[in-house]
Amino acid sequence: MTDNIVEINDLSFAYNSRLLHKGINMRFPRGKVVAIMGGSGSGKTTLLRLIGGQLQPTAGQVLVNGGVVHEKSREEIYLMRRKMGMLFQFGALFTDLSVFDNVAFPMREHTDLPESVIRDLVLLKLNAVGLRGARELMPSELSGGMARRVALARAVALDPMLIMYDEPFAGLDPISMGVIVNLIRSLNDALGATSIVVTHDVHETFAFVDYIYFVSAGVVVAEGTPDELRASQLPFVHQFVHGEADGPVPFHYAAPDYRQDMLRGLHA
Partner 1 sequence: MLERLIPALRGIGHRVINRIWRLGSAARFFLYTLVLSGESFRRLHLTIREIYFTGVLSLIIILVSALFVGMVLGLQGYNTLQKYGSSEAIGVLVALSLVRELGPVVTALLFAGRAGTAITAEIGLMKATEQLSAMEMMAVNPIARVVAPRFWAGVISMPLLAALFSMMGVFGGYLVAVPLIGIDDGAFWSQMQASVDFREDIVNGVIKSCVFGVACTIIALFEGYDAPPTAEGVSRATTRTVVNSSLAVLGLDFVLTSFMISA
Binding site for partner 1 (CB under 8 A): 52, 54, 77-79, 81-82, 84, 86, 88-90, 92-95, 105-106, 109-110
User: Least distance to partner 1 from the beta carbon of 91, Å?
Assistant: 8
User: Least distance to partner 1 from the beta carbon of 81, Å?
Assistant: 4
Rounded to whole angstroms, the Cα distance separating 226 from 203 reads 10
- What is 193-244 written as a DSSP string? -EEEEEE--HHHHHHH-SEEEEEETTEEEEEE-HHHHHT---HHHHHHHTT-
User: Least distance to partner 1 from the beta carbon of 259, Å?
Assistant: 35
Residue closer to partner 1 by CB (options 15, 78) is 78
- The angle at the Cα of 156, spanning 90 to 4, to the nearest 5 degrees, equals 105
Rounded to whole angstroms, the Cα distance separating 82 from 160 reads 7
Residue closer to partner 1 by CB (options 52, 226) is 52
- Can you name the residues that pair with 19 across neighbouring β-strands? 14
Residue closer to partner 1 by CB (options 55, 137) is 55
User: Least distance to partner 1 from the beta carbon of 208, Å?
Assistant: 24
Distance spanning both ends of the chain, measured CA to CA: 70
Residue 230 near residue 200, CB atoms below 8 Å: no
Residue 82 CB coordination number (10 Å): 14
- If DSSP codes are grouped into helix, strand and coil, which group holds residue 141? helix
Fill in the DSSP letter of residue 256: -
- The angle at the Cα of 36, spanning 81 to 199, to the nearest 5 degrees, equals 95
User: Least distance to partner 1 from the beta carbon of 161, Å?
Assistant: 14
Residue closer to partner 1 by CB (options 109, 141) is 109
Residue closer to partner 1 by CB (options 65, 89) is 89
Residue closer to partner 1 by CB (options 74, 259) is 74
User: Least distance to partner 1 from the beta carbon of 43, Å?
Assistant: 16
Residue 194 near residue 185, CB atoms below 8 Å: no
Residue closer to partner 1 by CB (options 146, 229) is 146
Helix residue spans in 58-98 (DSSP H)? 74-82
User: Least distance to partner 1 from the beta carbon of 105, Å?
Assistant: 7
User: Least distance to partner 1 from the beta carbon of 103, Å?
Assistant: 12
**Cβ-proximal residues to 196 (8 Å cutoff; 6+ apart), any chain:** 6, 28, 34, 35, 36, 48, 51, 162, 163, 164, 165
Residue closer to partner 1 by CB (options 75, 246) is 75
